A and B are shown apart, each in its own frame.
Chain A
Amino acid sequence: MRIELVGVTKIFVDGKKVLDNICFGGDFKTLAIIGPSGGGKSTLLRILGGLISPTTGDVLLDGNKIIFDEKHLIQHRRQIGFVFQAKGLFNHLNAQQNVVLPLVNVHGYAKADAKEIADSLLDRFGLSADRHKFPNELSGGQQQRVAIVRAVAVKPKLLLLDEPTSALDPELTGEVLAMLNELRYDGLNIILVTHEMGFAKKACDKLMFIVNGRLTEYGDSERLFTRPHTPELASFLGRVLEWGI
């Protein structure tokens, strides 16, 4: 998938400039966005997902410009899967209902078909025993896997994940990353904001490094990890990889 950002800037109502004139174009299958906290990674992901609008600038996916008004954004969101850091499941619905709701109410599937799709995906990712559990009865890792199932059930052209494992302990992180890896092999386009450097290095073909609202470095992830061009990335990697990956 090709992504182009033309002078994307986001200034919040309190005057804080979170994204500063990002200009960029590139192709990817799996793209990891890394960088220090508060650098604007999540904001960029939310703009790509059509959840917020940039203050100025254009975003193009496969050459199609995202039109940032509510009517067009709803259509845009429907083609994209979005997974939040945590708590993204609907509290009052069980796992299966969480997956079924967008299929039925947004994408017009018949209820029986939607259930079938939900069950087969939950089954595939080892969640069939949990399909009647409510979010508060699921572990953090299970919640995230259900959230991913909900996002991919509608066959999105792009899956966005905002630090999907940062609220999880290492064991649960592993099960979520394994699931993402499998989806990657299915050919799904993925962009994720992550602090999991091992996953960014081994499972993502491209890497985007954002500091203080600026796109500081972009390229093949293997290259960025082994031969960073900018001192910012070199020092960032030095810090996060101090104890190895």
Chain B
Amino acid sequence: MALHRVFIKGTNDKVTLLQKFLNIVIAVAIFLLFFFFSAKRLNINFDFSFLWTFRYRLIKGFATTVELSLVSLILSLLLGFLSAMANNSRILAVSYFSKVYVQFFRGTPMIMQIYLFFYIVGTAWGVDNRFLAGVLILSLFEGAYIAEIIRGGIDSIEPTQLEAAKAVGLEARQTLRLIVLPQIIKRTLPALAGQFASIIKDSSLLSLISVIELTQTIREISASNFAIFESYIFLGLLYLSLTFPISLYTRYLEGKFSYEN
């Protein structure tokens, strides 16, 4: 194999494992070198040793972020499903309520929603547990996106599928369980997995109302020792350790999806 073949893919070639590995290393190296070169220009020397001192707080913050994201995932799935159902409701007020909800939460920045809901709605209804408030706001926000994903899944069911279900003699409930739901799940799973990665990242915004999750923990630590750069680099790595596997899984699901449908 000629040397340039390692770096340049022929039109119909498959990328070999070796090619993949080498070129990923190169890409990551370029990325890191540029970053550290920039830091060098500013005479910043990185010292990560302090992290060990804060290990328990970091673990706790990390665990809180995971917990926050998981609970929000479940809640936002529920909200998204309900909203998608409501969107198709024949009761117009219900349908428009769902549309307004989706439009509002997708069309405004989350930072505004956090302040508005925590300080006005949260205070008015006595939600003073910040974790709970955070979960609710995050779920409302992500639920609007999930509603759109699920609605797209419902819309993608071809009418012939329902007609065929009817023709073979399935009852309405069987059609939902055996035909509609499996197809919706298969079609929306990649997008839903991707949305879970968004939930994890978006949960960092809850640091604004002092939910002691990962980002807030790092903010507190860096405020006390001024190791801002090291703190945030480490923060990025921790988020990546969560979102990267999800992104791989999403890719895998997409491949599987295109094969079967």
Contacts and interface: CB of A to CB of B under 8 A. Distances in A.
B260 interface: yes
B182 interface: yes
A49 interface: yes
Contacts of B186: 92
B171 to A, nearest CB: 6
A150 B169 CA distance: 12
Interface residues of A, number: 24
Interface in A72-128: 74, 77-78, 82, 84, 86-92, 101-102, 105-107
A106 B169 contact: yes
Given A92-B186, A101-B178, A134-B260, A51 B169 contact: no
Nearest to A147: B164
Contact of A101 (B168, B259, B260): B168
Given A78-B169, A134-B261, A91 B178 contact: no
A197 B89 CA distance: 46
B182 A92 contact: yes
A104 to B, nearest CB: 10
B160 interface: yes
B200 to A, nearest CB: 29
Nearest to B260: A134
Interface in A35-93: 49, 51, 74, 77-78, 82, 84, 86-92
A84 to B, nearest CB: 6
B210 interface: no
B260 A92 contact: yes
Interface of A is mostly: loop
Interface of B is mostly: helix
A89 B167 CA distance: 11
B178 A82 contact: no
| Residues of B in contact with A, size category | 20 to 34
A102 B178 CA distance: 10
Contacts of A151: 168
Contacts of B183: 91-92
A107 B168 CA distance: 10
B174 A105 contact: yes
Contact of B163 (A74, A84, A105): A84
B158 interface: yes
Interface in A157-176: none
B167 A51 contact: yes
B161 A91 contact: yes
A235 interface: no
A87 B167 CA distance: 13
B164 to A, nearest CB: 5
Contacts of A87: 158, 160-161
Interface centre among B165, B166, B167, B182 (most CB of A within 10 A): B167
Contacts of B261: 91-92, 134, 136
A106 B179 CA distance: 13
Given A134-B261, A136-B260, A136-B261, A89 B170 contact: no
Contacts of B260: 92, 134, 136
Contact of B161 (A78, A82, A90): A90
Contacts of B166: 51, 77
A107 B174 CA distance: 13
A82 B160 contact: no
Contact of A150 (B168, B170, B174): B168
A84 B178 contact: no
A51 B182 contact: no
B170 A105 contact: yes
Contact of A49 (B161, B167, B174): B167
A96 to B, nearest CB: 14
Contacts of B160: 84, 86-88
A134 B179 CA distance: 14
Contacts of A106: 168-170, 174
Given A88-B163, A101-B178, A150-B168, 8 more contacts: A74-B169, A90-B164, A91-B261, A92-B261, A102-B169, A102-B170, A106-B168, A106-B174
Interface of A: 49, 51, 74, 77-78, 82, 84, 86-92, 101-102, 105-107, 134, 136, 150-151, 154
14 contacts: A51-B167, A82-B168, A84-B167, A86-B160, A87-B158, A87-B161, A88-B164, A90-B179, A91-B158, A91-B183, A102-B168, A106-B170, A106-B174, A136-B261
